[in-house]
Structure 1
Amino acid sequence: MTAAVSSAALPALLGPHCTVDPDRLRRYEIPERGEPGKASGLVVPQTEAEVASLLATCSKNGVKLVISAGRTGLVEAQRPDGEVVLSLEKLDQPLSFATPDGEVFRFGERAAPAAHADALAAWWRGIGAPPCEDAVLEVQAGMAVDAVNLLLAPLNLMWPMEMGSSSAASVGGCIANASAGANAVCYGTAAHLAIQAFGYSGDGREVLSDAPAWKAVPEDLLAINSAQPRPEWGLIGTQGVLGVITRAKIRAYAIPGQREAALIPVSDMPAAMRIHAAARALFGDDVEEFEFIGKPALELVRDLKGDAFRSPLARHDAPYYLLLQVKSHKAHIDLAGMLYEFLADAVSLPEDQIGYAPLKALKEIRHSITEASNARMRALGGGRLSFDTATPVAVFGDYLKVLEAELKAEYPDMALIAFGHAGVGGAHLHILGSKDAPVARHAKALVKIVFDVTQDFGGTFSAEHGVGTKWGDEFIARAPAEVRAALIAAKRRHDPAGTLSPRSFALDRQLAG
């Protein structure tokens, strides 16, 4: 919290882009989920140089900051508790685009995303550039994921960061958090979709961080684990506690020439993971997504959409469903036929259980689950506990089976909504209470069951959403001592005054101790 400088003195100290107006602050005090916070001020830098100067000033004067970009985070890291909010919303422009053979386009002055897209496309046509996959786009950190893909689409390129919040989630936030998303099984996390991240340490020093290369993770190891940040990656994946990303170079990927997908009913999650193994054996790295949806989650979407619900399946009585998406850059192969043959022959599904549908319709089902869960939570009036766990893929099916059984045995009146990134062992879990059985009454016990079972299967209590302030106590209790020690040492090196996100990972308490 900011105690060294009074709120009234902040604008004079932090400059013209700082405000303490309560009406301006209110928007930044309300997180995606959870209770509102309380900010002592708001600062919205217009340039990277302002960010550097701001950090140096705050570090020198004991002003604490929490970082706000798209405000889509789910672990309360962006919710202030007396700190000043640092918003990167004005750092939202593309900077340059470079082809593998050295041609470079530099974007002009600030403009709308569509205008930048038109300018880039005109340049691309002018140089007669052939399709390429190894192009590099440099953008400011506050640029939204959807805005990046609007820019790249006319070039038949993409930045494959797929999630329900992509209209607001920022490139810098995703890279700082090493967000996974629906197609991490194919492309890796946002940490791997980056090339370099540029920014400043907590005391204003310039930092350049190189991104790690993506390679498939063995199935007996964790593929995603944001409870184990890697300080050696610098600003990448360390969730804003060491410094602020202000711009990044990211990889552009060719949009596949073909994509095919199906919704597949399965009897249980161990059976689902056998299908995953078979799909990887046949399609290899061309398995672009492998998502799972529990029956209660699908039912919530049906209730939310009503007559607008579109499903390729006549019946919806299976305990789980899979969204399997495969891709190919080869125009001459029959990808749809290959997928159908795989499901009919290798998986032995009858025709009425092979849920072919336009990809957009299947994605709408998957990305409507959180909205549907929100609606049911409000209707039931008993609150919700949300988790983001992961285990090694090799045990993921058994993990979900055991976890569901334990929760049902202990709390039969609670509803478990399960869905997520089965291809990398990631699960999003919503436990919904009712007015008669609110989750708050049993929150501590529910958290313990979920995290104990996850740990028993070699998993992590935080797969991709970060630790933030929400899971600080769990980080202290469950993270290996060497992981905590490395993060504390890095915090002392990069942010000696504890300026940035001081409560994330419970670092304020750990440093004080």
Structure 2
Amino acid sequence: MLTPATPDTLAELKETLPPDSFRTDTAPYLTEPRGRWAGAGMVVAPRDVDQVARILRHCNDRRIGVVPYGGGTGLVGGQVMGQGPAPLVLSLERMTAIRATYPSESVLVAEAGAILADVQKAAQDIGRLFPLSLASEGSARIGGLLSTNAGGVNVLRYGNARAQCLGLEVVRPDGTIWHGLTRLRKDNTGYDLRDLMIGAEGTLGIITAAALRLAPQPTGVGAAMLAVPSPAAALDLLALAQDRLGDGISAFEIIGRQGLDFLTEVGPAFKAPFADTPDWMVLIDIGLPTGLAPDAALEALFEVALARELVTDGVIARSLADRDALWHIRESIPEANRRIGSVSSHDISVPLSQVPDFIVEGGKRLSRIGDFRINCFGHLGDGNLHYNVFPLRGQSRANHEDKRAAVKTCVHDLTHEMAGSVSAEHGVGRLKVGDLERYGDPVKLAMMRAIKIALDPHGIMNPGAVLKGLTND
């Protein structure tokens, strides 16, 4: 059984850690962005991997739970422990160094507390691109992004966080350090422990540094917002774009009219791309090598798509400012969602061919529960939809709190029926532990539990996250 972190815990740690390792204002570390989760605990912020090792060794010996904390941007409660003995919250905020860059290898080594935007800048400084990109990149940290195998807008071209990592440095629950910061592209010496740690959400150990794979910077970039008659047409447009542009497509986002209506209602302010907002739009972003003109490629795509009745209108960015304005729309939708206040938000994925059917069937099923506004948008290129359900205008989510569980179950049941995932890119955390039990393959869950017990026999790492009701002692 776990024991709580107490002032005595901090007093003992102060004997081996410098005074600036401790946080007296713990409130910012004990809540999450949506305000649905709150916890308790003591907070410590180590400076280096050896200090992390000392902390874990201390907590493992005393059976004190440890909750890793990155940028605090997670939306599934993985960084907040609301039940059980108060844990020690271990923040990586001071481990922010870019340890090394290898331009000829297109590799960068960063500590887990490095903010994503700073890693992107470090890659840019050596003429490379770190392509992981998402709305919270100004505050999300590399350790948390790897621990949740974050996605973002460029998954279609570059893959999830897992695909952008070559090696890891990890502190195990007993305080031993795995020095796995390899820069090798090929290494078949046994189990792939890197992939085991990525996506584990801090339940098997703490990532303290990563060797990150970089990409060439595209010479020419471009973007277009295209009006499509339906999600099915958007899917056909994706296939057409891939046939014509191949790996030149960096992102392919579907956006529903409701997203722009929310921006008009509550902001942030934006420049409307169309005089009359269509029901469905696609934002396509491309990056091409030297000698190819993005504008011309997008214009040619639009002409063919128009002839095939896959698009009805379009706006092609003629400058970087135009491109930024189009992306501002997409990146502002989550903030508008937050201001409206959702009844229930869902990060799901289904096979690409199922996306149009999911959108139609989801609306039908939710109408049986109540009257809602649905804001559906996301990464069509990889089948990941942010399918969020909101109250009607003039109401608040509090008016529908009694329907929240039914809404969530409705959406997730449909996702499962269509061979999808109820957690596409945000992780399981504590919010979706029950969903993993409900929809997960029993054999997979048994294997996960066996791994957890083998690597964390006392169950101190992020207790209650990912796996349900696991008692190791």
Superposed pair shares fold, TM > 0.5 = yes
Partner residue of 2:354 out of 392, 395, 409: 395
**Which of 341-350 and 318-327 deviates more?**
341-350
Match in the other structure for 1:61:
62
Deviation at residue 335 of structure 1 after TM alignment? 2.5
Is residue 203–residue 494 contact of structure 1 (8 Å, CA) maintained in 2?
A: no
Is residue 96–residue 114 contact of structure 2 (8 Å, CA) maintained in 1?
A: yes
What are the Cα deviations for residues 131-181 of structure 1, in whole angstroms up to 9, with x where unaligned?
A: xxx411101011011011122223332211111000011111111111110
Deviation at residue 68 of structure 1 after TM alignment? 0.7
Partner residue of 1:95 out of 96, 99, 102: 99
Is structure 2 residue 249 aligned with structure 1 residue 287?
yes
Match in the other structure for 1:447:
408
Q: Which runs of 5+ in 2 are unaligned?
A: 186-191
Match in the other structure for 2:295:
336
Structure 1 pair 35–312 and aligned structure 2 pair: CA distance change class (3 A): closer
In 1, Cα distance between equivalents of 2:428 and 2:158: 23
Is structure 2 residue 382 aligned with structure 1 residue 424?
yes
Partner residue of 1:262 out of 224, 235, 238: 224
> What secondary structure, in the 3-state scheme, does the structure 2 residue paired with 1:499 have?
coil
Structure 1 pair 242–21 and aligned structure 2 pair: CA distance change class (3 A): closer
Structure 1 pair 21–236 and aligned structure 2 pair: CA distance change class (3 A): closer
Match in the other structure for 1:233:
195
Is residue 488–residue 511 contact of structure 1 (8 Å, CA) maintained in 2?
A: no
What are the Cα deviations for residues 83-122 of structure 1, in whole angstroms up to 9, with x where unaligned?
A: 111100000110001133xxxxxxxxxxxxxxxxxxxxxx
In 2, Cα distance between equivalents of 1:18 and 1:461: 42
**Amino acid aligned to 2:9:** L
Deviation at residue 207 of structure 1 after TM alignment? 2.4
**Amino acid aligned to 1:458:** A
After TM superposition, the score normalised by the length of structure 2 is 0.90
Partner residue of 2:115 out of 125, 144, 147: 144
Match in the other structure for 2:188:
none
Aligned residue-pair number: 454
Is structure 2 residue 215 aligned with structure 1 residue 244?
no
In 2, Cα distance between equivalents of 1:387 and 1:6: 33
Match in the other structure for 1:380:
none
In 1, Cα distance between equivalents of 2:26 and 2:397: 36
Structure 1 pair 492–503 and aligned structure 2 pair: CA distance change class (3 A): same
Match in the other structure for 1:29:
30
Match in the other structure for 2:177:
206
Identity %: 25
**Amino acid aligned to 1:164:** A
**Amino acid aligned to 2:89:** V
Deviation at residue 340 of structure 1 after TM alignment? 0.9
In 2, Cα distance between equivalents of 1:260 and 1:172: 31
Match in the other structure for 1:163:
134
Aligned pairs for 1:74-473 within 5 A: 74-81=75-82, 82-100=86-104, 134-208=105-179, 233-305=195-267, 308-316=269-277, 318-330=278-290, 332-348=291-307, 353-357=313-317, 358-377=322-341, 384-411=343-370, 413-433=371-391, 434-435=395-396, 438-473=399-434
In 1, Cα distance between equivalents of 2:419 and 2:380: 15
Match in the other structure for 1:218:
none
Match in the other structure for 2:189:
none
> What secondary structure, in the 3-state scheme, does the structure 2 residue paired with 1:288 have?
strand
Is residue 351–residue 420 contact of structure 2 (8 Å, CA) maintained in 1?
A: yes
What are the Cα deviations for residues 236-274 of structure 1, in whole angstroms up to 9, with x where unaligned?
A: 121111110000000121221111111111222111111
Is residue 231–residue 238 contact of structure 1 (8 Å, CA) maintained in 2?
A: no
**Amino acid aligned to 2:347:** D
> What secondary structure, in the 3-state scheme, does the structure 1 residue paired with 2:71 have?
coil
In 1, Cα distance between equivalents of 2:388 and 2:311: 32
Is residue 143–residue 207 contact of structure 2 (8 Å, CA) maintained in 1?
A: yes
**Amino acid aligned to 2:325:** A
What are the Cα deviations for residues 350-391 of structure 1, in whole angstroms up to 9, with x where unaligned?
A: 9981112321111110010111111122xxxxx531110001
In 1, Cα distance between equivalents of 2:288 and 2:302: 17
In 1, Cα distance between equivalents of 2:471 and 2:310: 59
In 1, Cα distance between equivalents of 2:5 and 2:210: 34
Aligned pairs for 1:488-507 within 5 A: 488-507=449-468
In 1, Cα distance between equivalents of 2:133 and 2:166: 18
Is residue 162–residue 195 contact of structure 2 (8 Å, CA) maintained in 1?
A: no
Is residue 67–residue 85 contact of structure 1 (8 Å, CA) maintained in 2?
A: yes
**Which of 342-351 and 187-196 deviates more?**
342-351
Structure 1 pair 504–6 and aligned structure 2 pair: CA distance change class (3 A): closer
Is residue 289–residue 326 contact of structure 1 (8 Å, CA) maintained in 2?
A: yes
**Which of 201-210 and 159-168 deviates more?**
201-210
Structure 1 pair 468–209 and aligned structure 2 pair: CA distance change class (3 A): farther
Is residue 203–residue 499 contact of structure 1 (8 Å, CA) maintained in 2?
A: no
> What secondary structure, in the 3-state scheme, does the structure 1 residue paired with 2:152 have?
coil
What are the Cα deviations for residues 415-443 of structure 1, in whole angstroms up to 9, with x where unaligned?
A: 11111111000011221233497231112
Q: Which runs of 5+ in 1 are unaligned?
A: 101-133, 215-229, 378-382
Structure 1 pair 297–211 and aligned structure 2 pair: CA distance change class (3 A): farther
In 2, Cα distance between equivalents of 1:506 and 1:277: 38
After TM superposition, the score normalised by the length of structure 1 is 0.83
> What secondary structure, in the 3-state scheme, does the structure 1 residue paired with 2:345 have?
strand
Structure 1 pair 18–241 and aligned structure 2 pair: CA distance change class (3 A): farther
> What secondary structure, in the 3-state scheme, does the structure 2 residue paired with 1:371 have?
helix
Structure 1 pair 419–17 and aligned structure 2 pair: CA distance change class (3 A): farther
